[in-house]
């Protein structure tokens, strides 16, 4: 399953490791990442995986043990792995207030925490990489320069996921057409500029919204890299 989660990486895609097998046969899903950061570089991050639109299919999948060679985790296993992840994150320097929620009725999972600085945010990614034996930080990392109020997200595409994606049938690939990744960055100061051509700055100038199709991430036709400069 780790091969399926690599591209979502962004520091958060933790619980994807537990349900990635289900994603291949879900009609649609949404992955939302929210980062609230102050101008000193500390903040919170929350990621939510929403499979509610495919609730019936996911429920059926979780009753099975194996589909097309992929092991399907039980609800108990998903909860066990999430709790293990939370324990690990609580011991990660700079990370605190780790919380999670698993809604097995609507099939929505979320994980959140506070980070003391952007380095701790990157440590969060490394911890998850070590936990699930996947590489996250090689795809995605953050930097923040307080003096210039510049926040930078670096992103390097890898075709590992695309190779796995190409192994499934065209019918299953089409299921990803309605799957989206959304990133919301909120700040305590107004935003002067941002560099991603698909992202939008909110009306109050304190947030950046990026919503892209999962298939574009898989195929590498879009990037998550961005440079956000805050008003001094």
Q: What pLDDT does 174 receive?
A: 73
Q: How is 167-211 classified by DSSP, letter by letter?
A: TS-HHHHHGGGG-EEEEEEEESS-EEEE--TT-EE-TTSSEEEEE
* Residues whose CB is less than 8 angstroms from the CB of residue 152 and which lie 6 or more positions away in sequence, other chains included: 142, 143, 144, 145, 226, 227, 228
> Percent of the chain beyond pLDDT 90?
36
Q: What pLDDT does 71 receive?
A: 67
Task: Quickly state the pLDDT bin for 159 (edges 50, 70, 90).
Answer: confident
Nearest to 161 by CA among 85, 216, 82: 216
Q: 195: how many CB neighbours lie within 10 A of its CB?
A: 12
Q: What pLDDT does 53 receive?
A: 76
pLDDT digits (tens, 9 = 90+) for 54-84: 777 777 777 777 666 666 777 888 888 888 8
**Comparing 124 with 129, which gets the higher pLDDT?**
124
| SS3 label, residue 28 | coil
């Amino acid at each position: 399953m780790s091969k399926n989660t690599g591209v979502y990486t962004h520091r958060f895609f933790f619980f994807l490791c537990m349900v990635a097998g289900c994603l291949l046969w879900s009609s649609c899903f949404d992955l939302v990442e929210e980062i609230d950061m102050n101008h000193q570089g500390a903040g919170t991050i929350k990621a939510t995986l929403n499979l509610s639109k495919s609730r019936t299919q996911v429920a059926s999948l979780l009753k099975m043990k194996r589909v097309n060679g992929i092991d399907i985790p039980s609800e108990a296993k998903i909860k066990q792995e999430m709790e293990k992840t939370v324990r690990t994150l609580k011991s990660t320097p700079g990370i605190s207030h780790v919380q999670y929620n698993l809604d097995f009725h609507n099939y929505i999972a979320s994980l959140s925490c506070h980070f003391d600085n952007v380095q701790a945010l990157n440590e969060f990614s490394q911890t998850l990489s070590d936990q699930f034996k996947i590489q996250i930080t090689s795809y995605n990392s953050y930097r923040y320069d307080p003096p210039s109020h510049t926040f930078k997200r670096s992103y390097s595409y890898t075709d590992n996921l695309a190779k796995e994606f190409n192994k499934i049938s065209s019918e299953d690939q089409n299921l990803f057409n309605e799957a989206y990744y959304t990133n919301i960055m909120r700040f305590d100061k107004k935003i002067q500029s941002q560099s991603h051509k698909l992202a939008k700055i909110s009306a109050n100038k304190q947030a950046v919204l990026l919503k892209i199709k999962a298939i574009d991430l898989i195929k590498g036709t879009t990037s998550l890299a961005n440079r956000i400069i805050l008003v001094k």
